[in-house]
Amino acid sequence: MKKFSKKFAQLLDFVKFTEEFREVVRYEGSKLGKKVETSNEHSYQVAMVAWFLIEQDNLKLNKELCLMYALAHDLVEIYAEDTFIFDKKKKVSKHQREKEALVKIKKRFSKFKNLIKIIQNYEKREDEESKFIYILDKLLPPIQIYLEDGKMWHKKKVSLLKQLNYKNKILSSSSYFDEYWQELKKELIKNKKKLFPK
């Protein structure tokens, strides 16, 4: 096998890393079309929707930082896997698995210090940009599932009450996102019979 320079070998490994991200299946993913959404596709969607909202609503946010957070926020799932929010057993180990995953990413890409910093800062949520991406990340799944007539809620047996209890606190913590959430919530309640299992 050909011996590559260290720089090119690192590039190959990072491209491979992004390929690995395409294999992480999301438990709450979109099912528009024939396949289940991956974490890679989800992160791309978060980035695109963030960009759209920042420009549409003239938000005073650092767009580049928001896009970096959006693209990197779930990278730990390459090693830690996605955790379905209502899987109590897996939820217990989520933080530890993601912590260990970050150590692996840090070791694998020790020279890509900004990536590590972005992942760590996203987890801390100390700036407006990381908070914005975190809450957007929580708003997108119910929008997707609503657009798909509640297929995932039916499949996973998630009740309207369960969904509202989980999302209310997070989405209402931001006056900006709460406006969108209240509108979506009205639709969920109005279409409860179609969207949620009995």
**Nearest in space to 13 (alpha carbons), one of 104, 121, 123:** 104
Task: Reply yes or no on whether the pLDDT at 31 is more than 80.
Answer: no
Task: Reply yes or no on whether the pLDDT at 70 is more than 90.
Answer: yes
Mean of the pLDDT values across residues 163-191?
95
**Nearest in space to 42 (alpha carbons), one of 55, 25, 56:** 25
Question: Which two tokens mark 12?
Answer: 């190959």
pLDDT at 12: 84
Q: Categorise residue 25: left if φ over 0, alpha if ψ from -120 to 50, beta otherwise.
A: beta
User: What does the pLDDT look like over 146-157, one tens digit per residue?
Assistant: 998 998 899 889
> For domain 6-195, which CATH number applies: 1.10.3210.10, 1.10.10.10, 3.40.1520.20, 2.102.10.10?
1.10.3210.10
Task: Reply yes or no on whether the pLDDT at 32 is more than 70.
Answer: no
Mean of the pLDDT values across residues 79-100?
90
Task: Reply yes or no on whether the pLDDT at 138 is more than 80.
Answer: yes
What's the angle, vertex CA 10, arms to CA 6 and CA 15, rounded to 5? 150
Domain residues of the chain, as ranges? 6-195
pLDDT at 55: 95
**Nearest in space to 109 (alpha carbons), one of 21, 7, 41, 24:** 7
Task: Reply yes or no on whether the pLDDT at 34 is more than 90.
Answer: no
Judge residue 50's burial from the number of C-beta atoms within 10 Å of its C-beta, 0-12 exposed, 13-18 middle, 19 or more buried: buried
Average pLDDT value over all residues in the chain: 91
Task: Reply yes or no on whether the pLDDT at 178 is more than 70.
Answer: yes
**How far apart are alpha carbons 103 and 96 in whole angstroms?**
11
Task: Reply yes or no on whether the pLDDT at 54 is more than 80.
Answer: yes
Task: Reply yes or no on whether the pLDDT at 118 is more than 90.
Answer: yes
Task: Reply yes or no on whether the pLDDT at 29 is more than 70.
Answer: no
Mean of the pLDDT values across residues 30-46?
77
